Amino acid sequence: MMQERRNTVKHDTYRLKAREEFERMKKQENYCFSSALNETATLDDLNGDYIREYLAKTGTHKDLLALSKTELARSMKLIGENEYGESRAKNFAVLMFADRPAEYIPYAYLEMI
């Protein structure tokens, strides 16, 4: 008769006390996914034509359309600096203006309503 083999899995999880749970929730209360910097996407990953098309269709002043891609991104707050001083695109910018947002945000898609 073959002996049953069992693997034991060790874990270090535990049930949070009410105060610990409250503290963790408090840390997340001001977090906004769309305004957070994406870990990998940069200004180069945003499509400048999409940005200009968006501005044209929303009736933006023609002066803005003459700006460079970098100046547009800064004025629209599409990019920011991470803790290492590197320029990164914000998540909403990736969703709106990247050619392939799912490369930077797994399973991402936009549904227009």
Phi-psi region of 9 (alpha: psi -120 to 50; beta: other; left: phi over 0): beta
Residue 69 lies in a domain: yes
Residue 61 lies in a domain: yes
Strand, coil or helix: 35: helix
Residue 113 lies in a domain: no
Residue 23 lies in a domain: no
Report the C-alpha gap between 63 and 65 in whole angstroms.
Answer: 5
Residue 53 lies in a domain: yes
Residue 90 lies in a domain: yes
List per-block mean pLDDT (blocks of 10 residues) for the chain, which spans 113 residues.
57 77 74 87 95 88 84 93 92 94 87 75
**What distance separates the 2 farthest-apart alpha carbons in the chain?**
82
Specify the pTM: 0.68
CA distances from 2 to 5, 43 (A): 9, 60
pLDDT, averaged across the chain: 84
Dihedral (CA of 95, 98, 104, 109) sign: positive
Report the C-alpha gap between 71 and 76 in whole angstroms.
Answer: 9
Q: What is the tens place of the pLDDT at every residue in 72-98?
A: 999 999 999 988 999 999 999 999 999
CA atoms within 13 A on the CB side of 112: 1
Residue 30 lies in a domain: no
The alpha-helical segments, DSSP class H, found in 29-83 are: 48-57, 62-65, 69-75
- Per DSSP, 40 falls in state S
Residue 43 lies in a domain: yes
Number of domains in the chain: 1
Domain of 44? 36-98
Return the structure tokens found at 100.
């392939």
